[in-house]
Amino acid sequence: MGETTAVWANAADLKKTAILLAAVQAVLIILFGIFTGKGNQFVDPLDASKDAFAAYSMFSGVAVMMFVGFGYLMTFAKHYGVSAVGFTMVITAIGLQWAVLTEAFFGQWMELADDIAWHAVDVTIYNLLDGLYAVSAVLITFGALIGKVSPFQLMIITLIELAIHSLNYKVILGGLYVADMGGTYIDHMLGAYFGLAVAWVLGKPKGEPATGHIPDVFSLIGTTFLWLYWPSFVAGAAEAGSVQQQVAIVNTFLALSSSTITAFFTSSFMNEKSQFRPVDIQNATLAGGVAVGCIANLSIKPIGAISIGIIASVVSTWGFNSLQPYLEEKWSLHDTCGVHNLHGLTSIVGGLASVVVCAVNKDTDALIFGEHASEQWWRQLVGMLATLSLAVITGLATGYLVQHVGPEQDSTVEFEDSEWWEVADDYTGAKKEEKVATEEVELTNSA
């Protein structure tokens, strides 16, 4: 009876999701028709700082990170792979359009102080690139909630979080002139702690996702794509061909390299059998990319980039091995993909590093900081505290909201594609075989 109720509840939720997606796309068509310009999608090829090919190259790299990197990183759940990749696709698609408008709104709101009136939005490849950056925050949040929220809840979270993201990016951090080229504050910190706040409200799931060898391999594919294209994420918004962009790319690769090496030996050190844990390698290898984002274009020298990668990786691996189990047991904070360890803790490491770097290099990086060079360090600190506060408060509020719009069901089935997707025969067969094997093991143990 409970299983039948769950099926009907899921069907109703999917129907609401389809209606919401259609309605949102219709509204977006109207908004783009009213508030965007006459189609200035092309940039001036004579302006090297706005080279269309260079911009598209960076856009493609970040898009691969979203669709393949984030999507496949979350396929570690044995029976939730289609949901991981499929929901990543729809989040990215809807977020790309919505973020262009929310960022334009808050950006122009800030311009009112300079007596710049509201005006039509010129949609360029750079607007779309900014939209992808914003989507990354939602995908990070998705990692903390995957398998525990319905598609309808997920769409609501996406729309709300992107508006919060734009407010933080354009108004709060923009007003503070926080230096964050690579999104350490803007994307990783906000996305992680917003998602964790929602996860805490929703509580622990009834069960844990099944894992397996092949899903771990697919998840490592996601890690590999994220690793390769991470410099596009960090340096994509910089002036094409500029010294800052080149420095940021080099520093990002150095940080990723050191965090990868560190993830392997710390994973072994923290394992009783000295083996490598797939979850550490899938995630902590990327920790350097998160932490270096806000300082990648500053004067940190190669040793600085390598050092931040090492520190971030150690913190991330420790988070997966020690902190995450503690938070789940003592605080009922269930983090499906461990986004706190990859994105949350490491964003704080990067934020604190930016405070130190800006205090030490206020003269060296004066051209980057401008008139705020002498006070940039405290702007970085205040920006971090403001982002954390905004993420937690709005995440809690969003969590309580989506609690009341999800399907009401009495079911112990979670982390399964069959809840939301039409599945193939081999999926059903594999589930049956797994159930039989589990029952045999339980009978053996009981005997």
3 state SS for 206-220: CCCCCCCHHHHHHHH
| Mean per-residue pLDDT, 75-90 | 95
- Give the rounded distance of the alpha carbon of 296 from its chain centre: 19
Q: Using pLDDT thresholds of 50, 70 and 90, give the confidence band for residue 411.
A: very low
Sorted by sequence, the CB contacts under 8 Å of residue 92 that are 6+ apart come out as: 63, 66, 67, 132, 135, 139
Distances (CA, A) of 196 to 65, 395, 396: 22, 8, 9
32: tokens are: 């783009």
Size of the chain in residues: 447
Residues 271 and 328: beta-carbon distance below 8 Å:
no
Mean pLDDT score of the chain, rounded to an integer?
Answer: 90
Instruction: Assess whether pLDDT exceeds 50 at residue 143.
Output: yes
Sorted by sequence, the CB contacts under 8 Å of residue 251 that are 6+ apart come out as: 292, 295, 296, 297, 300, 302, 304, 305
Residues 109 and 170: beta-carbon distance below 8 Å:
yes
The pLDDT score that the predictor gives to residue 39 is 52
**pTM for the structure as a whole:** 0.93
Between 177-186, 361-370, 382-391, the lowest mean confidence (pLDDT) is in 361-370
Which residue carries 């025969």 as its tokens? 425
Span 337-347, pLDDT tens digits? 999 999 999 99
- Give the rounded distance of the alpha carbon of 52 from its chain centre: 26
Q: Using pLDDT thresholds of 50, 70 and 90, give the confidence band for residue 439.
A: very low
- For the chain, what percent of residues have pLDDT higher than 90? 74
Phi-psi region of 370 (alpha: psi -120 to 50; beta: other; left: phi over 0): left
DSSP, collapsed to helix, strand or coil, labels residue 271 as coil
| Mean per-residue pLDDT, 169-183 | 96
Instruction: Assess whether pLDDT exceeds 60 at residue 2.
Output: no
Per-residue buried b or exposed e for 10-48, using 16+ beta carbons within 10 Å of the residue's own CB? beebbebbeebbeebeeeeeebeeebbeeeeeebeeeee
Residues 245 and 235: beta-carbon distance below 8 Å:
yes
The pLDDT score that the predictor gives to residue 364 is 82
Q: Smallest Cα–Cα separation from 338: which of 360, 323, 350?
A: 323
| Mean per-residue pLDDT, 223-239 | 94
Residues 190 and 384: beta-carbon distance below 8 Å:
no
Domains of the chain: 2-434 (1.10.3430.10)
Q: Which letter does DSSP use for residue 131 in this model?
A: H
DSSP, collapsed to helix, strand or coil, labels residue 205 as coil
| Mean per-residue pLDDT, 291-314 | 96
**Dmax over Cα atoms in the chain, in whole Å?**
80
203: tokens are: 């509580």
Between 84-98, 205-219, 295-309, 410-424, the lowest mean confidence (pLDDT) is in 410-424
Instruction: Assess whether pLDDT exceeds 70 at residue 270.
Output: yes
| Mean per-residue pLDDT, 85-104 | 97
Span 288-298, pLDDT tens digits? 999 999 999 99
110: tokens are: 């800030």
Q: Where are the alpha helices (DSSP H) in 276-375?
A: 278-283, 287-292, 301-318, 324-331, 339, 345-360, 366-369
Instruction: Assess whether pLDDT exceeds 60 at residue 438.
Output: no
Q: Using pLDDT thresholds of 50, 70 and 90, give the confidence band for residue 425.
A: confident
Q: Using pLDDT thresholds of 50, 70 and 90, give the confidence band for residue 278.
A: very high
The pLDDT score that the predictor gives to residue 137 is 98
Instruction: Assess whether pLDDT exceeds 90 at residue 237.
Output: no
Q: Which letter does DSSP use for residue 38 in this model?
A: S
CA distance 442 to 330: 28
Instruction: Assess whether pLDDT exceeds 50 at residue 151.
Output: yes
Residues 42 and 199: beta-carbon distance below 8 Å:
no
In SS3 terms, 395-447 reads as HHHHHHHHHCCCCCCCCCCCCCHHHCCCCCHHHHHHHHHHHHHHHHHHHHHHC
Written as one letter, the residue type at 182 is G
The pLDDT score that the predictor gives to residue 240 is 82
Instruction: Assess whether pLDDT exceeds 80 at residue 48.
Output: no
